[in-house]
Amino acid sequence: MGLFSLSCLLLPIFLSLSPALSTNSEGNALHALRTRLSDPNNMLQSWDPTLVNPCTWFHVTCDTNNHVIRLDLGNSNVSGTLGPELGQLKHLRYLELYMNGLVGKIPKELGNLKKLVSMDLYGNKLEGQIPKAFAKLKSLRFLRLNNNKLTGPIPKELTTLSNLKVLDVSNNALCGTIPVDGPFASFPMESFENNRLSGPELKGLVPYDFGC
Amino acid sequence: MKSRQMIHFLLFFSILGAVLDVSLGDDPSESYWLLRVKAQLNDPSGVLNNWSPEVHVCGWYGVTCSDDQLKMVGLNLTNSGLSGTISPEYGFLASLEMLDLSSNSLTGSIPPELSKLQNLKSLLLYSNSLSSEIPVELGLLKKLQVLRIGDNLLSGKIIPDIGNLSELRVLGLAYCQFKGSIPLEIGNLKNLMSLDLQKNRLSGQIPQEISSCEVLENFAASNNMLEGDIPSWVGSLKKLQILNLANNSLTGPIPTEIGGLSNLRYLNLLSNRLTGEIPRELNGLVQLEMLDLSENNLSGSISLSSTQLKNLNALFLSDNMLTGGLPNNFCWSSSSLKQLILARNELSGKFPLELINCSSLQQLDLSDNNFEGSLPSSLDKLQKLTDLLLNNNSFTGVLPPEIGNISTLENLYLFDNMITGSIPEQLGKLDKLSTLYLYDNQMTGSIPRELTDCSSLTAIDFFGNHFSGSIPATIGRLKNLVVLHLRQNEFSGPVPPSLGYCTKLQLLALADNKLSGTLPPTFQFLSELSTITLYNNSLEGPLPESFFLLKSLRKINFSHNRFEGTITALCGLNLLTALDLTNNSFSGPIPSTLGMSMNLTRIRLAHNHLTGNIPSQLGQLSELTFLDLSFNNLDGNVPSQLSNCGKLEHLLLSNNNYTGAIPSWLGGLEELGELDLSSNALQGSIPRELGNCSKLLKLSLHSNNLSGVIPLEIGNLIALNVLDLQKNKLSGTIPSTIQQCKKLFELRLSENFLTGPIPSELGQLTELQVILDLSRNSFSGEIPSSLGNMVKLERLNLSSNQLQGEVPPSLRKLTSLHMLNLSNNHLQGRLPLTFSGFPLSSFLGNKELCGPPLALCSSQAMEKSLSKGEVAGIVAAIVFVSALICLTMLYMMVRIWCNWRRVLISSSEGSGAELKREEMWIHGNEKRRNNGDYWKMNSWLAPSHEKHPSSTCIFQLKMDVESPDRTSL
pLDDT digits (tens, 9 = 90+) for A17-59: 344 444 578 999 999 999 999 999 999 999 998 888 999 999 9
What average pLDDT is seen over chain B?
Answer: 87
pLDDT at A60: 95
Q: Is the pLDDT of residue B7 over 70?
A: no
Determine whether the interchain pair A120/B792 forms a contact, defined as Cβ–Cβ distance below 8 Å.
yes
What band does B876 get if pLDDT is binned at 50, 70 and 90? Answer: low
Closest CA in chain B for residue A72: B721
Q: Is the pLDDT of residue B624 over 80?
A: yes
CA angle B577, B583, B586 (to 5 degrees): 80
Q: What is the pLDDT of residues B750-790, one digit of tens each?
A: 999 999 999 999 999 999 999 999 999 999 999 999 999 99
CB atoms within 10 A of CB B785: 16
Closest CA in chain A for residue B416: A20
Distance in angstroms (rounded) separating the CA atoms of residues A126 and A129: 9
Which strand (E) or helix (H) includes residue A173?
A: strand A173-178
Which B-chain residues 534-553 have CB contacts (< 8 A) with chain A?
Answer: 535
B626: nearest CB among A5, A17, A56: A56
pLDDT at B925: 37
Residue range B910-927: average pLDDT? 36
pLDDT at B81: 95
Residue range B312-317: average pLDDT? 96
What band does B915 get if pLDDT is binned at 50, 70 and 90? Answer: very low
Assign B347 to helix, strand or coil: strand
Q: Is the pLDDT of residue B894 over 80?
A: no
Distance in angstroms (rounded) separating the CA atoms of residues A84 and B296: 25
Q: Are B169 and B193 in contact (CB under 8 A)?
A: yes
Closest CA to B190 of B171, B177, B203, B174: B171
Q: Is the pLDDT of residue B935 over 90?
A: no
What band does B328 get if pLDDT is binned at 50, 70 and 90? Answer: confident
**ipTM score here?**
0.85
What band does A210 get if pLDDT is binned at 50, 70 and 90? Answer: low
Residue range B805-832: average pLDDT? 92
**Nearest CA-CA distance, residue A211 and chain B, Å:** 30
Task: Assess whether the previous peptide bond of B839 is cis (omega < 30° from 0).
Answer: no
Contacts of A77 in chain B (CB under 8 A): none
Residue range A82-110: average pLDDT? 95
Residue range B93-101: average pLDDT? 94
pLDDT at B65: 92
Q: Is the pLDDT of residue B952 over 50?
A: no
Closest CA to B878 of B801, B788, B775, B952: B952
Q: What is the pLDDT of residues B682-721, one digit of tens each?
A: 999 999 999 999 999 999 999 999 999 999 999 999 999 9
Residue range B536-559: average pLDDT? 94
B816 lies within 8 A of chain A by CB: yes
More confident residue, B933 or B265: B265
Contacts of A165 in chain B (CB under 8 A): 815-816, 818
What band does A83 get if pLDDT is binned at 50, 70 and 90? Answer: very high
**Nearest CA-CA distance, residue A166 and chain B, Å:** 6
pLDDT at B917: 37
Contacts of B365 in chain A (CB under 8 A): 9, 12
What band does B479 get if pLDDT is binned at 50, 70 and 90? Answer: very high
Q: Is the pLDDT of residue B25 over 90?
A: no
pLDDT at B751: 97
Residue range B516-526: average pLDDT? 95
What band does B891 get if pLDDT is binned at 50, 70 and 90? Answer: low
A21 lies within 8 A of chain B by CB: yes
Residue range B246-258: average pLDDT? 96
Buried b (16+ CB within 10 A) or exposed e, B861-879: beeeeeeeeeeeeeeebee
What does the radius of gyration of chain A's CA atoms come to, in whole angstroms? Answer: 21
pLDDT at B944: 38
Q: Is the pLDDT of residue B934 over 80?
A: no
Closest CA in chain B for residue A2: B290
Q: How far apart are the first and last CA of chain A?
A: 60
A72 lies within 8 A of chain B by CB: yes
Residue range B417-426: average pLDDT? 96
Residue range B412-440: average pLDDT? 96
Q: Residue B80 is which amino acid?
A: S
Residue range B515-530: average pLDDT? 95
A46 lies within 8 A of chain B by CB: yes
Q: Is the pLDDT of residue B342 over 80?
A: yes
Assign B581 to helix, strand or coil: coil
pLDDT at B758: 96
Strand order in the sheet with A68-72: A60-62, A68-72, A94-96, A118-120, A142-144, A166-168
Q: Is the pLDDT of residue B868 over 60?
A: no
pLDDT at B530: 96
pLDDT at B248: 97
Contacts of B388 (CB under 8 A, 6+ apart): B364, B379, B382, B403, B406, B409, B411, B412, B413
Percentage, residues of chain B above pLDDT 90: 78
Percentage, residues of chain B above pLDDT 70: 86
Closest CA to B505 of B460, B565, B560: B460
Q: What is the pLDDT of residues B211-239, one digit of tens each?
A: 999 999 999 999 999 999 999 999 999 99
Q: Is the pLDDT of residue B940 over 50?
A: no
* Size of the A and B interface in Cβ pairs below 8 Å: 96
Q: What is the pLDDT of residues B440-452, one digit of tens each?
A: 999 999 999 999 9
Residue range A148-156: average pLDDT? 94
Contacts of A23 in chain B (CB under 8 A): 439-440, 463-464
pLDDT at B333: 75
Beta bridge partners of B806: B828
What band does B632 get if pLDDT is binned at 50, 70 and 90? Answer: very high
What band does B31 get if pLDDT is binned at 50, 70 and 90? Answer: confident
**Nearest CA-CA distance, residue B816 and chain A, Å:** 6
Q: Is the pLDDT of residue B472 over 50?
A: yes
Region for residue B175 given its phi and psi (left: phi exceeds 0; alpha: psi -120 to 50; beta: otherwise):
left
Closest CA to B771 of B790, B747, B788, B754: B747
Residue range B809-821: average pLDDT? 91
Contacts of B769 in chain A (CB under 8 A): 94, 96, 118
Distance in angstroms (rounded) separating the CA atoms of residues B808 and B796: 14
